[in-house]
A and B are shown apart, each in its own frame.
Chain A
Amino acid sequence: MIALPPAPAPAPRRQVLVGTAIASAAAAAAVGGMLAVWLRLRDQAMHGIEGTWVPKDVHVPMVPANVLLISLLPICVFGQWAVYSAKRGDKAHTGLALGLVGLLGVAFINAQAYIWSQMGLPVTQGSFSIMFYAVTGTITALAIAGVVFSAITAFRFLGGRTSDHESVSAHALYWYAFSTIFSVLWFVVYVTK
């Protein structure tokens, strides 16, 4: 067997951060692909016989939709607060920041469910309703994944892994990516419809 020169101590690994970045790219691709279908179908509908994409009796509530978008700002701020605190070994503030991110994530899911209930849109209404539930359902699934990520990161950190800054950074990265994805979705689905 060939003997190669021995290596020095390995550099700190950043697998969780890189893995989260790749998974976030996959999530963006999934939502982006759906939005592309949304735009194509909308274009077809607008140039079709009826000339409308959103059914006439459907009202999309904008206030909770805007609240969804606004809630992402504190999520990002608190996520970064967690990173800042974790790097200083501040267990209490890290836990608090992660908890707030998780709480706002749950509030996000709740607001999305509120939109669904307010709209009362049957899935069987046609292309708009199918696309609406597919896109908003996917983003809600991503929000649930984010809340789970927050919970796991918080438990790990509060459980004693205070040197694991990378997971906290990866957690923040996920929510940044989520915010970016939702911002695009908000513009396409709720603003331009």
Chain B
Amino acid sequence: MTTIDTHATGAADAGAGLACVADWLTTTDHKRIGRLYVGTSLVALVGSLVVAALLAAERISTSSTIVDLGSLTQLFSVYRFGLTYVVMLPLLLGVAVAVVPLQVGSRAIAFPRTAMSGFWAWLLGAVLAIISIAANGGPNGGNKRFVDLFLLSAILCIGGLLATTVSLATSILTTRTPGMNMRRVPLFTWSVLVMALGLVIALPVVAGDLLILFIGHKYPSLSELSGNRVLGTTFAFGFSQTTTLLFAVPVLGFLAEVVATANRSRTRQRGIVLAGIGLTVSAVFGVALQWPTGIRSGFSSLSGGDKVSDLLPFALVHLLPLLGAFLAVVLTLGSIRKGVKLHPALVFGVLAALLTFDGFLGNALANIGDAGLAGTSFEEGVWLALVYGAVIAGMGALVHWGPKLWGRLIPMKAVLPLALLTFVGGTLASLPMMVAGFADQPGAVFPVVQDGDSVVAFSYSGPASLWNGLAAAGHALVLLSVLAFVALALRSFLAGEKAGDDPWDGLTLEWATTSPAPADNFADLHVVQSAEPLLDLKPSNGSDAR
């Protein structure tokens, strides 16, 4: 079913002063909603990175006192909640909201007011959640009222993200331009659809668990649900893998998209790449089950039946997403032509995909009991690889689609070193945590930090200060790179070189409209006859792989 929607009213060009502010506050233009998500999550990213660097520095030595011991629990909560629900998912969701309707040739996002309300609900929820954590609420917090506020705020935050996700998924399913069947949707759009359908299942499960905890905490009893420590144990999956695997799926689509653009050719083995990206959605079973799906330690001594009962869910929840990511990344990277012109977003895409694949691989490894990684910092390393992969992809997406959002280019020479620096920083932050995990450095999703407690006062024979020092340097490097990137993006936004309508010689529909794209995206409806409709019109087109 394909159709083109007309744009909702109220999305006219901004006026000046208060009119402009009001226009942004009530906007139903998907590009603005996307930019609001991206801008806010980038600001949150800077704050979260400061916290991340502080925490890593605190862990360099057991005797260091950079941060007050009483604040550590709250900082860990801000770090985990912030990077997961205020940075990683909103950043990629924002890019998707801004770009996907353009890619499918639609004039608007479906249910634009729902998408807009989702943004404001998310923002309000995120701000309240951070405030409540700061006021000794949040996971493992001591202030009962603010713990309650945190739980409600987190539900609101997730509800907002869910509303925008529903809007996005409906757009992809119903507003595609004539001729664009599901085999012809752009690869990034496909990955966003996979993520969105996964989130439609995953986010309500997480919100439901938070509601249970809220009731249990509000009305205390002897139940294990009455405290909120279970948030970091039984219900930790909402802030960790496999939930975050779903968040990272668009990174794979972004890589495939920019490789095709850089190659200026149709994607080889496109069907397998689509299937690979689609396989990653099986991670949602890990969220739905809400139960450890790893292989128990002492696997070789288990009976045949027990082995099967361990292996089947493990394969479904962890190996299938890994296989999907492997297919998508390897086939896409393998299709890069020799001598391809260096495309700035290509560098971001490749580096982001490498970190993300590292996360998928690490997640599978972490769930093998005999590896002995449970309860160690390995999980944090995997989570960081996924988060920073998403951050690099988000930055790359702004470089790639910036012309369609604000009509100007981010200078390539300045931005390429930042891609490398962010990748190095992200690797330094995540990999040492994984290595330290093998050396049994303790870790938890929401650790409780008390005097002499395990998270900072860990004890093992490995070089703790080395791994944690590297991680601290990694976070700091990412912070500096992100700050520089934001400055570059702002300069480009205000006074950058004007972009043409099709600066990258693109293949998909967003490059068939002006830069920046007008409020209604396209002056005319388009019919497409292949997955790369613009290639059909260009002299070097290939007629294969339709």
User: Residues of A at under 8 Å CB distance from B?
Assistant: 1-8, 10-15, 18-19, 22-23, 25-27, 29-34, 36-37, 40-41, 122-127, 129-131, 133-134, 137-138
Contact = CB atoms under 8 A, between A and B. Distances in A.
Contact of A33 (B175, B200, B208): B208
Contact of A11 (B1, B203, B218, B225): B1
B166 interface: yes
Contacts of B290: 33, 36-37, 40
Contact of B166 (A1, A6, A23, A129): A23
Contact of A126 (B205, B223, B524): B223
B248 interface: no
B201 interface: yes
B534 A2 contact: yes
B527 interface: yes
Contacts of B21: none
Contacts of B173: 18
A36 B289 contact: yes
B166 A22 contact: yes
A8, A15, A33, A41 pick with most chain B CB within 10 angstroms: A33
A4, A18, A19, A32 pick with most chain B CB within 10 angstroms: A4
Nearest to A19: B170
B527 A30 contact: no
B208 A129 contact: no
B62 interface: no
Contacts of B513: 1
A26 B509 CA distance: 30
B3 A4 contact: no
Contacts of B169: 22
30 contacts: A1-B514, A2-B511, A4-B526, A4-B527, A4-B528, A7-B4, A10-B4, A10-B178, A10-B525, A13-B174, A14-B174, A15-B5, A15-B175, A18-B174, A19-B110, A19-B114, A19-B167, A26-B162, A26-B203, A26-B204, A27-B204, A29-B288, A32-B205, A33-B204, A36-B288, A36-B290, A40-B290, A127-B223, A130-B225, A131-B212
B512 interface: yes
A6 B5 contact: no
Nearest to B163: A23
B221 A129 contact: yes
Contacts of A131: 212, 225
Contact of B219 (A5, A25, A124, A137): A124
B41 interface: no
A19 B3 contact: no
A85 B206 CA distance: 40
Interface string B510-546: 0111100000000011111000011001000000000
Contacts of A4: 509, 512, 524, 526-528, 533-534, 537
Contacts of B175: 13, 15
B208 A138 contact: yes
Interface in B1-43: 1-5
A134 B215 contact: yes
A33 B207 CA distance: 9
Nearest to B284: A29
A13 B219 CA distance: 46
B207 A30 contact: yes
A29 B205 contact: yes
A18 B176 CA distance: 13
A152 B208 CA distance: 26
A23 B163 CA distance: 9
Given A19-B166, A22-B170, A133 B204 contact: no
Given A11-B178, A19-B111, A130-B226, 5 more contacts: A6-B525, A8-B527, A15-B111, A15-B175, A32-B205
B216 interface: yes
B291 interface: yes
A38 B486 CA distance: 46
A141 to B, nearest CB: 10
